[in-house]
Amino acid sequence: MILSKTDLRNYLNEDKKFYQATFADYVLKRQEAYIVRYLYHLRHAEYYLNNSGRALSHRILKGYHTYKMRALSYKLGFQIGLNTCGPGIIFYHFGHIIINGKARIGKNLCVYPGVTIGQNERGEAPRIGDNCFLGLGSKVLGNVRIGNNVVVAANSVVTKDVPDNCMVAGVPAVIVKKRENALNFLNTI
């Protein structure tokens, strides 16, 4: 949760580490530039939402950044609730990505298009740990806890808890690979 300007700077720096958007990318309206702009407005909207009681200017800026974020979300196909994702989120491509506003996600999440992180009929949403990877078209639904360093394979549907340092695949998802040592787990898969 972004509560101060320092938190905001840290989140923005972590989000930009993966992207190498240049001035030419912004002028030519390339994919990375749109994603970086979306993340910029998402993080600012979160900051002003969490600090909106302070001044009228914060409420106005919250509205501005929320408007810009929503306008970009229509272009990119992203629907991400405020205050859901930790720092360092990576979107590899444009595409349909839904993250429910009640979900809680740790730092360094890698997301491909077609991913849905949604609640069940009782309104319970997933909790995802740090350093996770969600493959193309994967779904995480309901009151599910996904641990740290987890890989969810493409087109998998996760409906049950997943422990740390695992790779899951299938419908419904089952553990196909597990490591005891978390060091460089994602790089070895």
Cα separation, 78 vs 75, in Å, equals 8
Q: Is 55 in the same domain as 110?
A: no
Report the pLDDT value the prediction gives residue 170, as an integer from 0 to 100: 94
CA-based max dimension of the chain: 52
Q: Where are the alpha helices (DSSP H) in 21-140?
A: 23-27, 31-50, 56-76
185 pLDDT above the threshold of 60? no
In what helix (H) or strand (E) does residue 95 lie, and over which residues does it extend?
Answer: none
Domain of residue 173, CATH code? 2.160.10.10
Q: State the Cα angle at 57 between 106 and 88, rounded to 5°.
A: 20
51 pLDDT above the threshold of 60? yes
Q: Is 37 in the same domain as 87?
A: no
Contact between residue 176 and residue 156 where contact means Cβ atoms under 8 Å apart? no
Segment among 7-11, 19-23, 97-101, 155-159 with least mean pLDDT: 19-23
- pLDDT per residue over 130-152, tens digit each? 999 999 999 999 999 999 999 99
* 3-state SS class at 175: strand
CA of residue 167 relative to chain centroid, distance: 19
Among the candidates 45, 76, 107, a domain finishes at 76
Report the pLDDT value the prediction gives residue 184, as an integer from 0 to 100: 56
Report the pLDDT value the prediction gives residue 157, as an integer from 0 to 100: 96
Q: Is 114 in the same domain as 166?
A: yes
- CB count within 10 Å of CB 171 equals 11
Cα separation, 128 vs 116, in Å, equals 13
Q: Is 31 in the same domain as 51?
A: yes
Question: Nearest CA to 96 among 106, 111, 82?
Answer: 111
Long-range contacts of 32-39 (CB under 8 A, 24+ apart): 34/72, 34/75, 34/76, 34/94, 35/76, 35/91, 35/94, 37/68, 37/72, 38/69, 38/72, 38/73, 38/76, 38/78, 39/12, 39/15, 39/89
DSSP summary character for residue 57: H
Predicted confidence band of residue 187 (pLDDT cuts 50, 70, 90) = low
87: domain range? 78-189
Q: Is 38 in the same domain as 88?
A: no
